[in-house]
């Protein structure tokens, strides 16, 4: 499982790098010359040999005019200052979500690096799956917003109408930034599946995946492949010795408990015998006293009867 975790870490690092680069590279671009646009002769005479390049980023659109050797003019229009509110919100939300996706991807990479030698009871896998899922959601929404802006017009029916990028003349082409964005979204989905599989697909013999009962025997067998039979026999012998030792200790404990309990029984017996003897002795003494008192009373009566006066 360590190899799988390392592979997941490297894959998430590459995907996160794609997401970061998608925020830096342009999404759409077009290049054209004035002679290809069909303008009048005056314009052609001025800009016939000049090349125009328009590049769309998350935060701004860049306009560049240059000839074959030197740039002549440079302009930049920030997407937050657009007249069309819908297009402005699309780009602002997309830029924020792209940044959040890159941050969550970096957090998932850090936790995945710490998860390589973590045990089964660690909660890092839950945070990795959660961060990867959130990063995938951010990139997926960003792809949807940029695709909508590229294919559909915004602010239609008003003077702030903005034509779709693929409908302009000449139209914008999808370039490296959008491709990296799609790669980041798909890669985060694959990374989410890989992280879930690393957590769910576990074996009983894996020490880093919850194996507790059979890992020791497997390590003994794998220590020396040439003497596998010997190690197995030694493992069984140690197991039998441990069982016999447990039985001996249990029998010794039972004997010790019996020896401790016997004096209690004998002491109870002696106490009961002593109590019975004392009760018998007391009854005998009371009986002797009773017999003596009865004899004395009888003798007194007889003496009294002997000293009676005769009748006149």
Rounded distance between C-alpha atoms, residue 213 and residue 216, angstroms: 7
What is the reported pLDDT for 37? 58
What is the reported pLDDT for 98? 94
What is the reported pLDDT for 93? 94
What is the reported pLDDT for 110? 93
Between 149 and 216, the more confident residue is 149
pLDDT digits (tens, 9 = 90+) for 63-101: 887 766 666 677 888 888 888 888 889 999 999 999 999
Least confident range from 12-21, 189-198, 291-300: namely 291-300
Mean pLDDT in residue range 202-218 = 45
Between 186 and 204, the more confident residue is 186
Note whether 28 and 35 are within 8 A (CB): no
Between 52 and 287, the more confident residue is 52
Note whether 111 and 127 are within 8 A (CB): yes
Residue 215 has pLDDT above 70, yes or no: no
Residue 226 has pLDDT above 90, yes or no: no
What is the reported pLDDT for 48? 59
Least confident range from 32-36, 102-106, 193-197: namely 32-36
**Whole-number percent of the chain with pLDDT over 90:** 29
CB neighbours of residue 59 within 10 Å = 13
Which residue is listed with tokens 């003494």?
A: 285
What is the reported pLDDT for 201? 64
Between 260 and 87, the more confident residue is 87
Residues in the chain: 312
The CA distances from residue 97 to 20, 102, 144, 159, 171, in Å, are 12, 9, 11, 29, 26
Between 90 and 155, the more confident residue is 90
Topology given in CATH for the domain delimited by 2-200? Butyryl-CoA Dehydrogenase, subunit A; domain 3 (1.20.140)
Domain layout of the chain by residue ranges: 2-200, 205-240
Band of pLDDT at residue 155, cut at 50, 70 and 90: confident
What is the reported pLDDT for 163? 84
Contacts of 122 (CB under 8 A, 6+ apart): 115
**Whole-number percent of the chain with pLDDT over 70:** 55
Residue 261 has pLDDT above 50, yes or no: no
Q: SS3 of 271, please?
A: helix
Note whether 50 and 66 are within 8 A (CB): yes
The CA distances from residue 295 to 218, 265, 288, 304, in Å, are 96, 45, 10, 14
Rounded distance between C-alpha atoms, residue 188 and residue 183, angstroms: 8
What is the reported pLDDT for 168? 84
pLDDT digits (tens, 9 = 90+) for 165-193: 888 878 889 999 999 999 999 999 999 99
Note whether 162 and 87 are within 8 A (CB): yes
pLDDT digits (tens, 9 = 90+) for 105-134: 999 999 988 888 776 656 888 899 999 999
Least confident range from 29-38, 152-161, 290-299: namely 290-299
Average pLDDT value for the chain: 71
Highest mean pLDDT among 31-35, 92-96, 236-240, 245-249: 92-96
Mean pLDDT in residue range 146-161 = 85
Note whether 128 and 108 are within 8 A (CB): yes
What is the reported pLDDT for 132? 94
């Amino acid at each position: 499982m360590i190899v799988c975790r390392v592979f997941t870490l490297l894959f998430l690092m590459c995907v996160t790098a794609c997401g970061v680069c998608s925020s830096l590279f342009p999404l759409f671009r077009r290049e054209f010359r004035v002679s290809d646009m069909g303008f009048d002769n005056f314009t052609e005479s001025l800009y016939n040999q000049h090349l125009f390049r328009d590049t769309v980023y998350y935060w701004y659109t860049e306009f560049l005019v240059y000839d074959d050797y030197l740039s002549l003019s440079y302009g930049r229009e920030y997407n937050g200052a657009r007249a069309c509110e819908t297009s402005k919100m699309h780009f602002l939300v997309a830029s924020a979500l792209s940044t959040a996706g890159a941050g969550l991807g970096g957090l998932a990479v850090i936790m995945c690096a710490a998860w390589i030698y973590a045990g089964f009871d660690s909660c890092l896998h839950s945070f990795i799956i959660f961060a990867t899922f959130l990063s995938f959601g951010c990139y997926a929404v960003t792809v949807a917003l940029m695709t909508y802006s590229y294919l559909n017009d915004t602010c239609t029916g008003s003077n702030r109408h903005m034509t779709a990028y693929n409908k302009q003349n000449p139209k914008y082409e999808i370039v490296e930034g959008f491709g990296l964005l799609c790669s980041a979204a798909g890669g985060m989905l694959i990374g989410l599946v890989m992280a879930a599989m690393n957590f769910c697909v576990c074996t009983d013999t894996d020490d880093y995946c919850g194996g507790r009962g059979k890992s020791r025997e497997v390590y003994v067998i794998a220590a020396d492949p040439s003497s596998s039979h010997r190690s197995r026999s030694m493992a069984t012998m140690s197991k039998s010795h441990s069982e016999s030792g447990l039985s001996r200790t249990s029998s010794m404990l039972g004997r010790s408990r019996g020896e401790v309990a016997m004096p209690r029984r004998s002491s109870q017996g002696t106490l009961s015998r002593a109590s019975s003897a004392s009760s018998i002795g007391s009854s005998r003494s009371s009986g002797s006293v009773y017999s003596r008192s009865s004899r004395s009373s009888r003798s007194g009566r007889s003496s009294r009867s002997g000293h009676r006066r005769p009748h006149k």
